[in-house]
Amino acid sequence: MTLSLPSPGRPMHIGTRGSPLALAQAHETRDRLARAFGLDQACFAIVVIKVTGDQVQDRALRDIGGKGLFTREIEEALLAGQIDIAVHSMKDMPVDQPSGLVIDCHLEREDVRDAFVSPIASRLADLPRGAVVGTSSLRRRAQLALRRPDLQIVEFRGNVQTRMRKLNEGVAAATFLAMAGLNRLGVADVPRTPIDPDDMLPAVAQGCIGVERREDDGRAAAMLAAIHHAPTGRRLAAERGFLAQLDGSCTTPIAGLAELQGSSLRLRGEILKPDGSISIADELSGPASEGDRIGRTLADRLLTRAGPGFFSWR
C-alpha cells in the first residue's frame, strides 16, 4: 500500500504547547519528518494548544493536578482529530495514557543532566548559607534539602526567560534547569554548570521528546516509525517502567536514569522523602530488551527497602 503523505494543501497537524521550548521540540519533530520523507515544511502545520499547566503559574503543579496539566488538552485535541500527532517532553507525561492513544516514537535523547543556574555562584556548594533557591520540581527540592539543608527553597515556575528574570530581580540566588532544554533553545547567555548524574540523578525521561498518535492512525504510525530512535526507546522503557511501578506523580520525589552499555542496560533509581531526610537509591542491570522488567524490578527493590510507610505523605 502506498503511504499517503501530507501536502501543503492537506498538511499533517502537529499539536504542542506554546512555550519556546515546546515549539522548538515541535519544529525538530517537523524537520525530522520532512527530511525522512523529502517533504517541504509547508506539508506540516504547528498547532499551539493552551494547557492548564502553562496558564496557572502561581501554584505548584502538585497542588493543581500534577503532570497531566501539560498534556490533557493536547490529548483531547488528538482524540478529537483536531491534530494528527502531539509532541511532548516525556518527563511531563503521566505513565498512563488515554485509551486510543500511543507513544511509540521517541527522538534521540538530549543531555540528561540538570544545570545549576546562578548569577552569583558556579556550583551548589558555593552558595552562601541560607541562600534562596527556586525550583518547582519536588525531586530537586528533596535532593537539594538532602545536600544543603541550610538553603531556603521557594516555588519557581515559568519558562527559561521568566526564571532568569526572577533571578536577576533577586527573588532567588539560584535555580535549576534541564541542560536539554537550554541546548534545544540554543540559549548561550544563561550561566549554567552541568551537574553529573553521579551527584544529582535527573528526572525520569529528562531530555526525551515523545510523539503521540492515535492508535488506529496507520499513516502517522508509518511516518513516526521512520524517525523513532530505538536506543532512546529502550532507555525510556526501563525508566517509565520504574516510574509506573512506583506510581510516580508530581507528589513523589523520584529520580531515574537508564544507560545503554552495548546490549546491556544499567538503570539507576532514587526515591526520597520530600524534606530530603531520607534517600534510597539502587541500580540494576540486564538485557536492554527487558527494560520494563528491569525498571519494575528495581522499583520493587526500592519499595521493599523503604517499607510501607515511606510514601505516607501522598
Single-letter amino acid code for the residue at 205: A
Yes or no: say if 297 and 306 are a contact pair by the CB < 8 Å rule.
Answer: no
Q: Would you say 147 and 78 are in contact if contact means Cβ atoms under 8 Å apart?
A: no
User: Is the separation of the CB atoms in 50 and 18 below 8 Å?
Assistant: yes
State the Cα–Cα distance between residues 253 and 139, nearest whole angstrom: 4
Lookup: cell for 190: 544563561
Is 96 annotated in the active site?
A: no
Cell 520493587 -> residue: 300
Cα torsion angle, 64, 70, 75, 80, sign = positive
Rounded Cα distance between 108 and 180, Å, is: 11
Assign 138 to helix, strand or coil. Answer: helix
Catalytic residue among 54, 84, 92, 217: 92
**Residue found under cell 495514557:** 97
User: What values do phi and psi take at 25, rounded to 5?
Assistant: -70, -40
Residues serving a catalytic function are 92
